[in-house]
Structure 1
Amino acid sequence: MATPTTLLDLPVDILHTIIPYLDAPTFLAFTSTCTALHSPQFLNDSHYWSTLTRDTFRVPNQPVAQTDGVRWQKLYKRLRTQSRIYTWGNNEKGCLGHSSETPAHVAERPELLRRYALARRHISWPVEMQNTRGLGVVSDVQCGGWSTTMLTAKGALYTVGVMDGLHVNNPRHAHVARMQAPMLQPTVLRYPPGFVPAHERHDVSTAIRQFSAGRAHVLGLSDSGRIWTWQNVEHAALHVKFLHHETREKGQRAGRGTVRKVVAGWNKSAALIEGAGIVLWDPLQRRHDDAATEDAALVLESAVVPKTDFRRSKGNQNARQAVESLADSPLDVTVGEVLDFVLLEHVVLFNTSLGKAFASQIIWDDNTQRIDEPIELCLSETTDEDAPAATEADPPFATSVQGSFRSCAVFTSSGAVLTTDQDRLLDLLLSRPTDRPLFTRTPALQNHGVISVAFGDYHYHALHSSGHIASYGNEPQGCGALGLGGHGDPEGRLRGIRYQGIGGDGRLVPHAYAGAGRRVWFEEEKKDWIKFITAGGVDPAEAAERMRMALGSPDVRCQGEVSDWIEQEGADWETKFAGRGAGGGGGEDDDGLGAYFALSVTAAGWHSGALVLVNEELAERVRRGCEVQDPAALEPAGLEADGKQRGGEAASSAVAEEPSSPSRVLSWAASTALDYSRWFLGLAPYNAPATAPTTPVSSPPRSDNATAAAGRTVERQLIHAPRSYGDSPRQGYKYAWARDSFPRLRLSYGVDMPGTVAFDEWRFGRPGGEG
Structure 2
Amino acid sequence: MPSLTDIPVEIILDNLLPLFSLKDLLSLTLVNKDFSVVCGDDTFWKRKVNEDYNFPDASSARTKGYKFLYRGIHHSQVYIWGNAADSRLGLRNTSSSRAPILYSSVPYPRQLRIPDVRLVDIVAGGWSFHALDSDGNVYVWGKLNAENHALLNDPISISGRAVDRPVKLQLPERVNKLSCGRAHSMALTESNRVLVFTNWGTPYYLESPAVHAPIQVECGWAFSAILSRTGEVYIWWPFKGLFKEQIRQHGFETEQRARQGQRIAIPENNVVECVTWEITTDPYLLYDVVDELPKLQPDAKPDHTKIVKIAAGDDFLIGLTKGGHVLKVDFTGQNEDFTGPAMMRPRWRYLSRFSEVESVKELPELKNETESLDSLHMTHISAHFNSFFAYSTGSSSIVLRGFRDTAVTTPPDIIPGLQNRDVIAVVLGDYHFAALTSTGKLFTWGQYSSGALGLGDPTRLPIGTPGAYSNERDKSNARVSPPHVPIPTEVKFGTRDYGQGRNIFVFGVTACGWHTGALVIDLDDPEYEQSEEEGDSTRSAPTSIEEPGAFPTPIFRRPFRIGLAGAFAGRGRGGGADG
Q: 2:320 aligns with which of 343, 347, 351?
A: 351
Aligned to 1:475: 448
The answer to whether the Cα contact below 8 Å between 2:101 and 2:480 also exists between their aligned partners in 1 is: no
Give the structure with the higher percent helix. 1
Are residues 1:404 and 2:404 paired? Answer: no
| 1:83-131 Cα shifts (integer Å, max 9, x gaps) | 11111111110101110488xxxxxxxxxx994885451111111114x
Aligned residue-pair number = 474
Are residues 1:278 and 2:233 paired? Answer: yes
* Secondary structure at 1:133 match in 2: coil
Question: 1:608 deviation in Å?
Answer: 0.5
Compared with structure 1, are the counterparts of its residues 300 and 491 closer, same or farther at alpha carbon in structure 2 (3 Å cutoff)?
farther
Q: 2:401 aligns with which of 420, 434, 438?
A: 420
Aligned to 2:574: none
Q: 2:482 aligns with which of 493, 506, 510?
A: 506
Are residues 1:187 and 2:150 paired? Answer: no
| 1:519-549 Cα shifts (integer Å, max 9, x gaps) | 111123xx36x4xxxxxxxxxxxxxxxxxxx
| 1:561-614 Cα shifts (integer Å, max 9, x gaps) | xxxxxxxxx56x78xxxxxxxxxxxxxxxxxxxx31111111101110101112
Question: 1:18 deviation in Å?
Answer: 2.0
| 1:503-524 Cα shifts (integer Å, max 9, x gaps) | 62333455xx2xxx42111123
RMSD: 3.6
Aligned to 2:489: 518
Aligned to 2:216: 261
Are residues 1:288 and 2:238 paired? Answer: no
TM-score, scaled relative to structure 1: 0.56
Question: 1:459 & 1:50 partners in 2: Cα distance?
Answer: 30
Question: 1:76 & 1:504 partners in 2: Cα distance?
Answer: 44
Listed as ranges, the matches of 1:361-510 within 5 Å are: 361-362=330-331, 364-365=334-335, 368=338, 370-379=345-354, 380-381=359-360, 382-389=363-370, 394=374, 396-413=376-393, 415-425=396-406, 427-428=407-408, 437-476=410-449, 479-487=450-458, 490-491=461-462, 493-498=464-469, 504-508=480-484
Are residues 1:163 and 2:144 paired? Answer: yes
Question: 1:31 deviation in Å?
Answer: 2.8
2:81 corresponds to which letter in structure 1? W
How high is the sequence identity, in percent, across the aligned residues? 21
Aligned to 2:115: 133
Question: 2:34 & 2:387 partners in 1: Cα distance?
Answer: 45
Listed as ranges, the matches of 1:537-556 within 5 Å are: none
1:267 corresponds to which letter in structure 2? A
Aligned to 2:519: 611
Q: 1:77 aligns with which of 67, 71, 74?
A: 71
Aligned to 2:195: 228
* Secondary structure at 2:89 match in 1: coil
Compared with structure 1, are the counterparts of its residues 334 and 371 closer, same or farther at alpha carbon in structure 2 (3 Å cutoff)?
farther
Aligned to 1:238: 204
The answer to whether the Cα contact below 8 Å between 2:425 and 2:437 also exists between their aligned partners in 1 is: yes
Question: 2:528 & 2:205 partners in 1: Cα distance?
Answer: 46
Question: 1:492 & 1:297 partners in 2: Cα distance?
Answer: 55
Question: 1:224 deviation in Å?
Answer: 0.9
Question: 1:610 & 1:357 partners in 2: Cα distance?
Answer: 27
Question: 1:9 deviation in Å?
Answer: 1.8
* Secondary structure at 1:446 match in 2: coil
Q: Relative CO higher for 1 or 2, CA cutoff 8 Å, sep ≥ 6? A: 2
Compared with structure 1, are the counterparts of its residues 141 and 367 closer, same or farther at alpha carbon in structure 2 (3 Å cutoff)?
closer
Question: 1:167 & 1:309 partners in 2: Cα distance?
Answer: 41
Compared with structure 1, are the counterparts of its residues 383 and 274 closer, same or farther at alpha carbon in structure 2 (3 Å cutoff)?
same
Question: 1:398 deviation in Å?
Answer: 0.9
1:215 corresponds to which letter in structure 2? R
Listed as ranges, the matches of 1:742-753 within 5 Å are: none
1:399 corresponds to which letter in structure 2? T
The answer to whether the Cα contact below 8 Å between 2:100 and 2:479 also exists between their aligned partners in 1 is: no
Compared with structure 1, are the counterparts of its residues 335 and 522 closer, same or farther at alpha carbon in structure 2 (3 Å cutoff)?
same
Question: 1:50 deviation in Å?
Answer: 0.9
Compared with structure 1, are the counterparts of its residues 413 and 602 closer, same or farther at alpha carbon in structure 2 (3 Å cutoff)?
closer
Q: Which runs of 5 or more structure 2 residues have no equivalent in the other structure?
A: 258-273, 292-299, 340-344, 530-579
Q: 1:341 aligns with which of 295, 302, 310?
A: 310
Are residues 1:39 and 2:5 paired? Answer: no
Compared with structure 1, are the counterparts of its residues 619 and 408 closer, same or farther at alpha carbon in structure 2 (3 Å cutoff)?
farther
Question: 1:439 deviation in Å?
Answer: 1.3
| 1:644-677 Cα shifts (integer Å, max 9, x gaps) | xxxxxxxxxxxxxxxxxxxxxxxxxxxxxxxxxx
Listed as ranges, the matches of 1:562-573 within 5 Å are: 570=499
Compared with structure 1, are the counterparts of its residues 480 and 502 closer, same or farther at alpha carbon in structure 2 (3 Å cutoff)?
closer
The answer to whether the Cα contact below 8 Å between 2:433 and 2:445 also exists between their aligned partners in 1 is: yes
The answer to whether the Cα contact below 8 Å between 2:304 and 2:321 also exists between their aligned partners in 1 is: yes
The answer to whether the Cα contact below 8 Å between 1:308 and 1:337 also exists between their aligned partners in 2 is: yes
The answer to whether the Cα contact below 8 Å between 1:345 and 1:405 also exists between their aligned partners in 2 is: yes
Compared with structure 1, are the counterparts of its residues 296 and 276 closer, same or farther at alpha carbon in structure 2 (3 Å cutoff)?
farther
Question: 2:281 & 2:512 partners in 1: Cα distance?
Answer: 29
Give the structure with the higher percent strand. 2
Question: 1:509 & 1:29 partners in 2: Cα distance?
Answer: 45
| 1:140-169 Cα shifts (integer Å, max 9, x gaps) | 111110001111111111111110111356
Q: Which runs of 5 or more structure 1 residues have no equivalent in the other structure?
A: 103-112, 196-205, 247-256, 311-330, 432-436, 531-569, 575-594, 622-771
The answer to whether the Cα contact below 8 Å between 1:87 and 1:127 also exists between their aligned partners in 2 is: yes
Question: 1:334 deviation in Å?
Answer: 7.3
Question: 2:100 & 2:181 partners in 1: Cα distance?
Answer: 28
The answer to whether the Cα contact below 8 Å between 1:225 and 1:259 also exists between their aligned partners in 2 is: yes
* Secondary structure at 2:51 match in 1: helix
The answer to whether the Cα contact below 8 Å between 2:310 and 2:317 also exists between their aligned partners in 1 is: yes
Q: 1:14 aligns with which of 11, 22, 26?
A: 11
* Secondary structure at 1:8 match in 2: helix
Question: 1:63 & 1:485 partners in 2: Cα distance?
Answer: 27
Are residues 1:213 and 2:176 paired? Answer: no
Are residues 1:121 and 2:104 paired? Answer: yes
* Secondary structure at 1:336 match in 2: coil
The answer to whether the Cα contact below 8 Å between 2:17 and 2:25 also exists between their aligned partners in 1 is: no
1:455 corresponds to which letter in structure 2? L
Q: 2:125 aligns with which of 141, 144, 151?
A: 144
Aligned to 1:60: 56
Question: 1:620 & 1:223 partners in 2: Cα distance?
Answer: 30
Q: 1:92 aligns with which of 82, 85, 89?
A: 85
Aligned to 1:651: none
Bigger Cα Rg: 1
Question: 2:462 & 2:87 partners in 1: Cα distance?
Answer: 25
* Secondary structure at 1:219 match in 2: strand
* Secondary structure at 2:199 match in 1: coil
Question: 1:453 deviation in Å?
Answer: 0.9
Aligned to 2:571: none
Question: 1:5 deviation in Å?
Answer: 2.2
Compared with structure 1, are the counterparts of its residues 333 and 444 closer, same or farther at alpha carbon in structure 2 (3 Å cutoff)?
same
TM-score, scaled relative to structure 2: 0.73
Compared with structure 1, are the counterparts of its residues 491 and 265 closer, same or farther at alpha carbon in structure 2 (3 Å cutoff)?
farther
Question: 2:305 & 2:425 partners in 1: Cα distance?
Answer: 23
Question: 1:188 & 1:88 partners in 2: Cα distance?
Answer: 21
Listed as ranges, the matches of 1:99-118 within 5 Å are: 99-100=92-93, 115=98
| 1:230-276 Cα shifts (integer Å, max 9, x gaps) | 1223x22211112x614xxxxxxxxxx11111111211111112347
* Secondary structure at 2:413 match in 1: coil
Question: 1:489 & 1:343 partners in 2: Cα distance?
Answer: 37
